[in-house]
């Protein structure tokens, strides 16, 4: 006989059926909206949120190609002054650094996913991930069977399962966010230094970089807002501060070194080129895998609303197109 969750006799019901039903209901799709509802937040119109999220994603992807990869080739690639010195011309160091960075991020991402799977007993072969480990399910099953508990005991199991699912979701999303912010911060350091020592090109460079940093920040912030952090967590504040302060601090350093720092020198080209190549690898991976593939191709809960999907894609292309165009000036 099939298990009817709306008509359960605790004296005769199989404990495994009860626990498995609660676990199957404890996935991110049901839990995240409830966790948000429990904490009042500023109400932002859906399409404003989607615009910030996907326009920012487009900006990040265009940044990787136009504002990082291309400058890296210009700084340490063939034809640059660096490539004509020492052993820099012996090998294609620029794409090698990008490749190494990309693979390193992949290994970190995979390691984080695998850690979460093992810790929370997630099996990818199951249509719905089981959020509790086998020993814990066994203990809960025994408790339900032995006590023949009432509705209160069932609610306790559901609460434990919900907490596990929320924690698993937070860890997975946080790992992806940290990788994304790490790559953007690297680039922000170079931006700040260049702006701090800018001369006549400051008037053109400044508005372009303000646009650049603002919409990258919007993209990161929109993704951060979807993570159900625990109440009172200091992590989102730390991440916001890290992104917000990196460029101003780098500008201050650039101003302090204005008389001695030459952005066109050999050393500056090497440092800037290597950092740009590393950042390009990070943002290429996060942009194409974490932002595009996961949101549009592999998300099992992706919206089926064609109007919303069209808006998301157009916004993404708009962000990428405008950021690519700004590469003409900075």
- Along the chain (330 residues), what's the average pLDDT of each consecutive run of 10 residues? 60 56 43 39 79 89 91 88 84 93 90 78 53 46 53 68 70 80 81 80 82 83 80 86 88 84 83 89 90 86 89 94 87
Q: What is d(CA 25, CA 165) in angstroms, rounded to the nearest whole number?
A: 10
Q: How far apart are the first and last CA of the chain?
A: 68
Structure confidence at residue 247 (pLDDT): 87
42 — alpha (psi -120 to 50), left (phi > 0) or beta? beta
21 neighbors 3 (Cβ within 8 angstroms): yes
Chain-centre distance for alpha carbon 221: 10
Structure confidence at residue 104 (pLDDT): 92
DSSP per residue over 142-159, as a string? HHHHHHT--HHHHHHHHH
Structure confidence at residue 29 (pLDDT): 37
Q: List phi, psi (to 5°) of 81.
A: -65, -30
304 CB neighbour count, 10 Å cutoff: 7
Structure confidence at residue 188 (pLDDT): 83
Q: What is d(CA 233, CA 31) in angstroms, rounded to the nearest whole number?
A: 19
Structure confidence at residue 124 (pLDDT): 57
Q: What is d(CA 192, CA 254) in angstroms, rounded to the nearest whole number?
A: 7
């Amino acid at each position: 006989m099939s298990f009817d969750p709306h008509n359960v006799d605790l004296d005769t019901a199989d404990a495994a059926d009860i626990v498995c039903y609660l676990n199957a209901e404890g996935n991110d799709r049901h839990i995240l909206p409830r966790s948000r509802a429990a904490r009042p937040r500023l109400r932002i119109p859906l399409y404003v949120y989607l615009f910030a999220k996907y326009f920012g994603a487009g900006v990040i992807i265009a940044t990787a190609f136009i504002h990082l990869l291309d400058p890296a080739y210009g700084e340490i690639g063939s034809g640059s002054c660096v490539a004509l010195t020492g052993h820099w011309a012996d090998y294609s160091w620029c794409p090698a650094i990008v490749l190494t960075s990309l693979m390193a991020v992949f290994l970190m991402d995979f390691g984080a996913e695998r850690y979460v799977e093992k810790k929370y007993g997630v099996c990818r072969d199951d249509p719905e991930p089981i959020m509790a480990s086998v020993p814990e399910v066994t203990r809960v099953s025994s408790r339900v069977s032995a006590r023949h508990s009432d509705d209160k005991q069932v609610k306790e199991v559901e609460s434990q399962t919900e907490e596990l699912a929320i924690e698993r979701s937070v860890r997975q999303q946080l790992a992806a966010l940290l990788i994304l912010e790490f790559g953007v911060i690297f680039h922000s350091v170079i931006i700040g230094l260049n702006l701090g020592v800018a001369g006549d090109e400051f008037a053109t460079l400044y508005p372009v970089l303000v646009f650049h940093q603002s919409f990258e920040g919007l993209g990161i912030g929109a993704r951060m807002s979807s993570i159900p952090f625990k109440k009172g967590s200091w992590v989102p504040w730390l991440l916001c501060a890290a992104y917000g302060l990196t460029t101003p601090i780098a500008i201050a350093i650039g101003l302090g070194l204005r008389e001695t720092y030459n952005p066109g020198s050999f050393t500056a080209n090497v440092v800037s080129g290597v950092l740009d190549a590393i950042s390009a690898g990070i943002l290429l991976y996060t942009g194409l895998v974490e932002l595009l593939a996961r949101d549009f191709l592999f998300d099992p809960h992706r919206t089926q609303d064609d109007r919303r999907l069209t808006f998301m894609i157009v916004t993404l292309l708009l962000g990428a197109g405008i950021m690519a165009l700004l590469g003409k000036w900075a």
